[in-house]
Amino acid sequence: MDFDLSNEQEILQETVDKFIGNVCPITRVRELSERDDPYDEELWDRCVDLGLGGLLVPEEYGGAGLGLLDAALVVESLGRGAVPSPFIEHTVAVLALRLGGSREQKRKWLPGMAQGDVRGCVALGEQENAWFGDRWTTRFDSGAGGREGVRGTKAPVSFGAGSDLVVVGTAGGGLVLVEGADPGLRFERIDGIDRTRRLDRLEIEGASGSVLSARDGIASRVVDAWLVLLAADAFGGAVACLARSVAYAKEREQFGVKIGSFQALKHQLANMALEVEPARTLYWYAAHAFDRELADASCAAAAAKSAICDRYLRIARSAVEVHGGIGYTWECDIQLFLKRALFDGLYLGDSRVHYRRIAESSGW
């Protein structure tokens, strides 16, 4: 089987890479990360102008109608630049609508999501690692017993504040659409370690909701897609850490020579490279399996997220070591990637959670 990218996919990734280099270089990332809220509306508008908002929106609703692998390639580029963008959250919200929305719901929301008039986010997680439908406690009452609306607490929610549409996970693995301006939603900022992502605690009290399809497995599919995109982000970040470490080793001098000439450092950089490159096909296959609805799609998503995020953290730590004393400081850009590695590894469950899921689904 040929797993090379198509010409169109290569052009897509090259275009996004150039866009990031021009619009959001690492200096701009640092500026945004030092604000209380790293979300930049102008940056998101530029992403939408490039067509990223509608990447997964079906063509009949004004989008490109592409698949998860295409979105993952974009996320890899965003991760490589440590870009503070709600692209992942918006894309997962689009996917939830694409998979489970009624025709009326799709007509109402998808055109606006493609054009940039509507920014989506997804609120699934609850306390104590409750990232999956069988552990959600948030409830949606249709009016029985005098209670109506969505009630519960979701945390952490990434890039939720200011969004126009929130996809909320409810007890039993349901998904409900809630308008971001609903007075029943209250976002409270959480001070997370990753300064390139806005995190919130979402309190929901009586918000009006519209139920997505109750078909079995929709919520699980949404989680799987999110895992793949986090894996792609982690891979992009790992590539950046390696590239920056190699460049630094070629420039930094100690004892009158470039530190890249030291054998121990050569071995460390070689080990980092060995960790990075084989990981690429993990997220490629996971995205492919999702798009083709293969039987092992869920396991592939969990494996990609776990393995790549673990590697990202190891590589980011090695990058700090390669940079020496400066690597531990705020002034060094590597700290941005280390913090993103910590976030990627924990969000939607750490590797232990997903390795256990893989084992259980395999009957071990």
Residue-wise pLDDT tens digits, 69-86: 999 999 999 999 999 999
Q: Does this chain's domain 7-115 share its CATH topology with 120-211?
A: no
Q: Higher confidence at residue 328 or residue 334?
A: 334
Q: What is the CATH number of domain 218-361?
A: 1.20.140.10
Task: Tell me the pLDDT of the chain averaged across its residues.
Answer: 94
What's the topology of domain 120-211? Butyryl-CoA Dehydrogenase, subunit A; domain 2 (2.40.110)
**Has residue 192 got a pLDDT over 60?**
yes
Residue-wise pLDDT tens digits, 108-151: 999 999 999 999 999 999 987 789 999 999 999 876 554 679 99
Q: What percent of the chain has pLDDT over 70?
A: 97
Neighbours of 54 (CB within 10 A): 25
Q: What is the pLDDT of residue 144?
A: 58
Q: What is the pLDDT of residue 256?
A: 84
Q: What is the pLDDT of residue 184?
A: 96
What are the angstrom distances between the C-alpha of 105 and each of 81, 146, 174, 239, 290? Answer: 34, 26, 16, 39, 23
The CATH homologous superfamily of the domain defined by 7-115? Acyl-CoA dehydrogenase/oxidase, N-terminal domain (1.10.540.10)
Q: What is the mean pLDDT of residues 293-305?
A: 97
Q: CA 123 to CA 112: how far, in whole Å?
A: 20
**Has residue 337 got a pLDDT over 60?**
yes
Q: How confident is the model at residue 3 (pLDDT cuts 50, 70, 90)?
A: confident
**Has residue 228 got a pLDDT over 90?**
yes
Q: What is the pLDDT of residue 179?
A: 98
| Segments making up each domain of the chain, as ranges | 7-115, 120-211, 218-361
| Token couple for 241 | 């850490």
Q: What is the pLDDT of residue 261?
A: 79
**Has residue 1 got a pLDDT over 80?**
no
Please give the model's pTM, rounded to 2 decimal places: 0.96
Q: What is the pLDDT of residue 347?
A: 97
Q: What is the 3-state secondary structure (H, E, C) of the chain?
A: CCCCCCHHHHHHHHHHHHHHHHHCCHHHHHHHHCCCCCCCHHHHHHHHHCCCCCCCCCHHHCCCCCCHHHHHHHHHHHHHCCCCCCHHHHHHHHHHHHHHCCHHHHHHHHHHHHHCCCCEEEECCECCCECCHHHCCCEEEECHHHCEEEEEEEEEEECCCCCCEEEEEECCCEEEEEECCCCCEEEEEECCCCCCCCEEEEEEEEECCEECCCCCCHHHHHHHHHHHHHHHHHHHHHHHHHHHHHHHHHHCEECCEEHHHCHHHHHHHHHHHHHHHHHHHHHHHHHHHHHCCCCCHHHHHHHHHHHHHHHHHHHHHHHHHHCHHHHHCCCCCHHHHHHHHHHHHHCCCCHHHHHHHHHHHCCC
Q: What is the pLDDT of residue 147?
A: 60
